Amino acid sequence: MQYLPFRALLYRYLFYGWLFRDAGRGNRLEQAAALRYNREQAHWLPTYMRRWLVLGALLFCVAAFCETVLNSPHVSALFYVPSMLSMPINFVTAVCWYGLVSKWGDSVSGLRPQTMLGKRSWLKRRSQARDDEAR
């Protein structure tokens, strides 16, 4: 079993970029495979949102303690800023999760797989259009 250094574990605990593949590289088949893989990995995103919510709440409580009990606004600012930065991280994570779970943007990105029925209906319409032109 390979052990990761603490920095790598902490990075993987807080940030989820290592879980996903780049769906913009390769040909259409590779892009579709990467998107499918990313959708399978999307179930981990609520866990990351929970982690950032708890971390932001803890940092906010420490900042409030430093401000009220210790009467030190400069020290409390060191905890308020990261606690507030957890909110946009959670927002971006929620948008990513919603986009992957709801298959948002499939028709726009062109990665929607065509079914045989879709191909047949397109071929049928094309042949009917040619027949109409021939008459």
Cβ-contact 21, 37 below 8 angstroms: yes
Q: How many domains does the chain divide into?
A: 1
Residue 78 token pair: 């060191």
pLDDT in tens, 60-90: 999 999 999 999 999 999 999 999 999 999 9
Residue 1 lies in a domain: no
What is the pTM for the complete model shown?
Answer: 0.72
pLDDT in tens, 85-115: 999 999 999 999 999 999 876 654 454 555 4
Residue 118 lies in a domain: yes
Domain that holds residue 99: 6-134
Closest CA to 97 of 57, 36, 48, 53: 48
Residue 21 lies in a domain: yes
pLDDT in tens, 7-40: 999 999 999 999 999 989 999 999 999 999 999 9
